[in-house]
Amino acid sequence: MGERAPRGPSRPARTRGWFVVVLAALAGHLLLAGTGASDGIYFLVVVGAAAASWFLVGTGAGRTSGVLLALGLTANAGADLVWQVLVWRGVDVDVSAAEVLYLTSYVLVAAALTRMADATGRPARARVDGWIDAVIVFVAVLLLMGELTLADTLADASQPWVVRVTWALYPALDAALIALVFRLVAGSGRYDRRALAVAAGAVCWLASDVGYLLTADPEAPPVLLESGWMLGAVLLAVASRRRPDRPVPRDRPESGGLARLAVCLGALLVPATIELVHDLTDGAESPLSMFGATLVLVLLVFLRTARLLQAESAARALVRSQARYSAALAAHSSDAVIVVDRLGRLQSDPAPLAALLGADLAADLAVSALLAGAGLDAVEGRMAFRRALDAGGAVVSAELPRRTADGERWLGVRLVDLSDDPDVRGVVIHATDITERKRAEQTLAHQAFHDGLTGLANRALFTDRVEQALRHNARHGDTAAVVYIDLDGFKAVNDSLGHQAGDRLLQKVAERLAATVRGGDTLARLGGDEFAILVEQTTGAAEASAAGERVLAALEGPIRIGRQSVTVSGSIGIAVSDGEATSDSMIRDADNAMYAAKAAGRGRVVVFDPAMRAAAVEQRELERELQGALAGGQLRLVYQPVIDLADEAVVGFEALLRWRSPALGSIPPDRFVPLAEDLGLIGEIGSWVLREACTTAAAWRRQDPAADLTIAVNVSAVQLASPDLVGHLAEALRVSGLPASALVLEVTETALVRDPDAAADQLAALRALGVRLALDDFGTGYSSLSYLRQFTVDILKIDRSFISTIQGAALPPIVRGLIDLGRTLDLEIVAEGVELEVQRDQLRNARCDLAQGYLFAAPLEQADAGALLGRRPAPLR
């Protein structure tokens, strides 16, 4: 970053600089009095003040008053220049064109003062009061001006009446300015610098104007008078600077109330003081004018006093209304507020607290007795009270339990020591019944750590209990065990009887499991149909296994669900703690052991051993590698030829998916395809397989247009249930250009019977595209002939397990039956797993159409498969 530019002088430094310049100008004017240089300084200051006022006006709010001040100073400077020119030319300057500019400057300054006072944002009532005060001050000052100059000026018969009236206007306008300044200062606040600057400037002009009228030589005013006009112009220029308007809040008391009242009342003394001076100096008295002035002042002061009394009455009424409002709120509030002294004695009405607590409380009770009488914990109450006394005025909160006939209740209190507050002089206690909130918190806490269906501990609470047990074991050398239970057969009950029946079954199972748990152990539902038991302080795996056997015994009998009786068993895994066990590792190990129990045949107990952990680690690594297999280009297709048994020509291929992981090596499909289904990856992988197989087959068909080559792709049960399958298939055909009739989709019986109706709809949508359907592994699953009627297929594939039974000259009846079934249903027959010549010959004799297997060719890479087109494969030996 570059260096920062040097900053200019701060505002206080600039202000001090200008102040020094003004003082220097005033000093030079006084020292050079009577010289041309003194006149030059005068005009420089006056004209400079006018110019500065325009520079300081700025824009935005408050601009109007600043412009009026600038106009007034400009008119004043212009008048000085005109007056001086007339003097230099020897013109009589008693009354001249300069007077018009002088008087105009007064009017403009008065307009600026009015605008500034109106901009303070005072309410209408306060503005009216300000005008009354201003009139009182104007009358009093005008009366003084009349005594000092006006009377003599107007009575001077040696001067023309125009001169006398013009000269009399100056003190009169000065009196108006003083009145307007008083209105501005009284309504603007004590520290409004702009108002103070205007006031100081107007006073300077007033003093100089009075002195000028009293001087013996009006054509040569003393240098002090000129200094007053100069200083007044500078101060008014300073006041023209725009400041953000800050409206006075409507509910704020009028500023300087006592001072304003003193000024108004003091104005009544002006006529009497003038008469007293006349008496002491034997001056000429004017009782009629004094009486009139006194009458006007009395009427104005009376009006002002009447308005003050009205305002006070309105304020008292407002206070009484607010008191009634607060009392009404307190009377219908569920809370209570009381005040006690620092010794704990009540200082306010105990009725609100008595109503809240439903107790009869006396006014002279101490806090401890009050708490005890209401069933509260006196010790905790005294501790909260002591904290409030030590908090130094800060708010202290506490929740106090309360024992009542209806059970435990709770009282929330907030205390603050306001002993130093003259309006309170005590400790304020705000109390409210928080029983419902506390009960809601307890309910939420229970819900957060317990299962909503069975009421047992949930996974979070169970994990915490295991962690506590392990910490206890570390200190005392004990052993704990986790018994992990997964219900066998629960899904069938849930699917056949409905979710409500499934929930009722889980509740019944929870009741049976609870009967097998020792008093210090923890039973939890971890989610779904999975439960767990924490066996604390066990002697080892044998005792934990005994707990598992008790669970199996409890689940043996049938469970009544409504009118149905159902039977479930459990697969149970057990993990016993060691020195390095954690809550997560124990639950995970017990879960792994449970899966081992399921794999071993269900309905049994298996204790975890480290080999299971290695298998689980391997499974997680396999999942992690599979996540990036497709994006990493690790998946590929190989192609096994489909042979016409009549002439052993290649008529098609079956695309088979292979995965070679850089970290794990080659992984067989029967391991990673189910895992891809569980991880939700099979849709993306299956879409890729369709695109790749269709693209390859289309290229082969263009290579040999005469061959009516087909390509077969296996579709998993998850893919068949996906609503995206038809769209993916249509896109693959469109992009590759492969005719739909050249694509064969192979589905298994297992995929069809999961949801027969949905499968039938999906197969119909696929056939509508023009693709052919093959039923794979027929005879190894449910083998219901009704499926062949329900699901319209084109090809029937005989599983290799049946083909392997062909060993001699006679064809096994099961194989002959499958071939005859296909012929009867007018289906194309494909035999899988042909590895022997005798199998080929027997199938050919039985009029089986097609075959595939290692006798003809193993699954081939794409280039090798393409090279095989147009010729018979050489049998593998």
pLDDT classification of 423: cutoffs 50, 70, 90: confident
Question: What's the confidence (pLDDT) of residue 10?
Answer: 46
Task: Report the number of distinct structural domains present in the chain.
Answer: 4
Lowest mean pLDDT among 198-202, 360-364, 591-595: 360-364
Question: What's the confidence (pLDDT) of residue 18?
Answer: 60
Question: What's the confidence (pLDDT) of residue 5?
Answer: 39
> What letter would DSSP give residue 781?
S
Q: What is the CATH number of the domain that holds 383?
A: 3.30.450.20
| Per-range mean pLDDT, top range of 83-92, 227-236, 332-341, 572-581 | 572-581
- Strand bridging mode 743-748 / 772-778: parallel
Which residues pair with residue 654 across a beta bridge? Answer: 640, 712
Question: What's the confidence (pLDDT) of residue 697?
Answer: 93
Question: What's the confidence (pLDDT) of residue 203?
Answer: 76
Of all residues in the chain, what percent carry a pLDDT higher than 70? Answer: 78
Residues 6+ apart with CB under 8 A from 137: 178, 179, 182, 183, 263, 267
**Are 430 and 559 part of one and the same domain?**
no
Question: What's the confidence (pLDDT) of residue 8?
Answer: 43
Following DSSP, what letter does each residue of 648-715 receive, concatenated? TEEEEEEEEEEEEETTTEEE-HHHHHHHHHHHT-HHHHHHHHHHHHHHHHHHHHHHSTTS--EEEEE-
Burial profile 143-164: b = 16 or more Cβ within 10 angstroms, e = fewer: bbbbbebbeebeeeeebeeebb
Residues 6+ apart with CB under 8 A from 709: 650, 651, 652, 653, 697, 700, 701, 742, 869
User: CA separation (Å) from 175 to 194, 208, 512?
Assistant: 20, 13, 103
Question: What's the confidence (pLDDT) of residue 248?
Answer: 46
- Per residue in 728-762, pLDDT (tens digit) is 999 999 999 999 999 999 988 767 766 677 778 88
C-alpha angle 667-672-678 in degrees, rounded to nearest 5: 165
Res 446 pLDDT > 50: yes
**Are 237 and 90 part of one and the same domain?**
yes
Residue 675 in any domain: the answer is: no
Distance CA(160)–CA(95), nearest Å, equals: 10
Backbone angles phi, psi at 504, to 5 degrees: -65, -35
Please indicate whether residue 389 or residue 269 has the higher confidence score (pLDDT): 389
**Are 806 and 735 part of one and the same domain?**
yes
- Per residue in 662-672, pLDDT (tens digit) is 988 899 988 88
pLDDT classification of 77: cutoffs 50, 70, 90: confident
The token pair at 169 is 């206007």
> What letter would DSSP give residue 742?
G
- Per residue in 195-248, pLDDT (tens digit) is 677 777 777 877 777 677 666 455 556 667 777 778 877 877 777 765 554 544
**Are 823 and 727 part of one and the same domain?**
yes
3-state DSSP call for residue 54? Answer: helix
Distance CA(800)–CA(822), nearest Å, equals: 16
Give a three-class secondary structure readout of 796-828: EEECHHHHCCCCCCCCCHHHHHHHHHHHHCCCE
Question: What's the confidence (pLDDT) of residue 873?
Answer: 63
User: CA separation (Å) from 17 to 7, 11, 275?
Assistant: 16, 10, 48
Residue 600 in any domain: the answer is: yes
Please indicate whether residue 550 or residue 162 has the higher confidence score (pLDDT): 550
Instruction: Give yes or no for a contact between 119 and 245, defined as CB atoms under 8 angstroms apart.
Output: yes
Which residue among 416, 440, 464 closes a domain? 440
Please indicate whether residue 845 or residue 137 has the higher confidence score (pLDDT): 845
User: CA separation (Å) from 154 to 105, 147, 148, 273?
Assistant: 22, 11, 12, 22
Res 67 pLDDT > 90: no
C-alpha angle 768-769-775 in degrees, rounded to nearest 5: 75
Residues 6+ apart with CB under 8 A from 349: 338, 363
Res 777 pLDDT > 80: no
> What letter would DSSP give residue 872?
P
Lowest mean pLDDT among 18-27, 139-148, 579-588: 18-27
Res 6 pLDDT > 70: no
Following DSSP, what letter does each residue of 624-643 receive, concatenated? HHHHTTTTTT-EEEEEEEEE
Instruction: Give yes or no for a contact between 176 and 168, defined as CB atoms under 8 angstroms apart.
Output: no
The token pair at 119 is 């901009």
Positive or negative: CA dihedral 660, 661, 666, 671:
negative
Instruction: Report CA 87 to chain centroid distance, whole Å.
Output: 77
Res 337 pLDDT > 60: yes
Instruction: Give yes or no for a contact between 805 and 815, defined as CB atoms under 8 angstroms apart.
Output: yes
**Are 435 and 463 part of one and the same domain?**
no
Residue 192 in any domain: the answer is: yes
Residue 326 in any domain: the answer is: no
- Per residue in 344-358, pLDDT (tens digit) is 777 776 667 766 766
Among 211, 241, 229, 201, which Cα is nearest to 102's? 229
Question: What's the confidence (pLDDT) of residue 638?
Answer: 95
**Are 367 and 516 part of one and the same domain?**
no
Domain extent, residue 526, equals: 450-608
Instruction: Give yes or no for a contact between 454 and 525, defined as CB atoms under 8 angstroms apart.
Output: yes
Residue 559 in any domain: the answer is: yes
Distance CA(58)–CA(134), nearest Å, equals: 29
Res 253 pLDDT > 60: no
**Are 645 and 778 part of one and the same domain?**
yes
Q: Which residue has the tokens 């009095």?
A: 33
- Strand bridging mode 426-433 / 407-418: antiparallel
Res 105 pLDDT > 50: yes
Lowest mean pLDDT among 96-100, 481-485, 517-521, 795-799: 96-100
Question: What's the confidence (pLDDT) of residue 643?
Answer: 93
pLDDT classification of 877: cutoffs 50, 70, 90: very low
Q: Which residue has the tokens 């003084």?
A: 144
Residue 781 in any domain: the answer is: yes
Which residue among 440, 472, 493 closes a domain? 440
Distance CA(391)–CA(601), nearest Å, equals: 69
Residues 307-314: what's their mean pLDDT? 78
Q: What is the CATH number of the domain that holds 842?
A: 3.20.20.450
Gyration radius from the chain CA atoms:
54
Instruction: Report CA 144 to chain centroid distance, whole Å.
Output: 68
Please indicate whether residue 870 or residue 764 has the higher confidence score (pLDDT): 764
Instruction: Give yes or no for a contact between 270 and 140, defined as CB atoms under 8 angstroms apart.
Output: yes
Please indicate whether residue 462 or residue 419 has the higher confidence score (pLDDT): 462
**Are 80 and 196 part of one and the same domain?**
yes
Residues 6+ apart with CB under 8 A from 141: 174, 175, 178, 179
Residue 373 in any domain: the answer is: yes
**Are 745 and 792 part of one and the same domain?**
yes
Instruction: Give yes or no for a contact between 665 and 648, defined as CB atoms under 8 angstroms apart.
Output: no
Helix axis angle for 269-281 and 287-331, nearest 10°, is 150
Distance CA(764)–CA(758), nearest Å, equals: 10
Residue 662 in any domain: the answer is: no
Residues 111-133: what's their mean pLDDT? 74
- Strand bridging mode 710-714 / 649-661: parallel
**Are 390 and 467 part of one and the same domain?**
no
Res 174 pLDDT > 90: no
Among 664, 727, 728, which Cα is nearest to 692's? 728
Res 831 pLDDT > 90: yes
Helix (H) or strand (E) holding 487: strand 479-488
pLDDT, mean over the chain? 79
**Are 87 and 122 part of one and the same domain?**
yes
> What letter would DSSP give residue 332?
T
Distance CA(182)–CA(203), nearest Å, equals: 11
Please indicate whether residue 846 or residue 282 has the higher confidence score (pLDDT): 846
Residues 81-106: what's their mean pLDDT? 72
Please indicate whether residue 72 or residue 30 has the higher confidence score (pLDDT): 72
Res 541 pLDDT > 80: yes
Residues 135-157: what's their mean pLDDT? 71
Question: What's the confidence (pLDDT) of residue 744?
Answer: 95
Question: What's the confidence (pLDDT) of residue 466?
Answer: 92
The token pair at 727 is 């769209």
**Are 385 and 457 part of one and the same domain?**
no
Question: What's the confidence (pLDDT) of residue 875?
Answer: 59
User: CA separation (Å) from 31 to 25, 95, 312, 860?
Assistant: 10, 30, 56, 119
Question: What's the confidence (pLDDT) of residue 836?
Answer: 92
Q: Which amino acid is at 441?
A: E
Lowest mean pLDDT among 80-94, 382-396, 434-448: 80-94
Residues 683-706: what's their mean pLDDT? 90
Lowest mean pLDDT among 98-112, 216-230, 563-577: 216-230
The token pair at 621 is 């690594």
- Per residue in 637-673, pLDDT (tens digit) is 999 999 999 888 899 999 999 999 998 889 998 888 8
Q: Which amino acid is at 641?
A: P
The token pair at 32 is 């050079």
pTM: 0.47
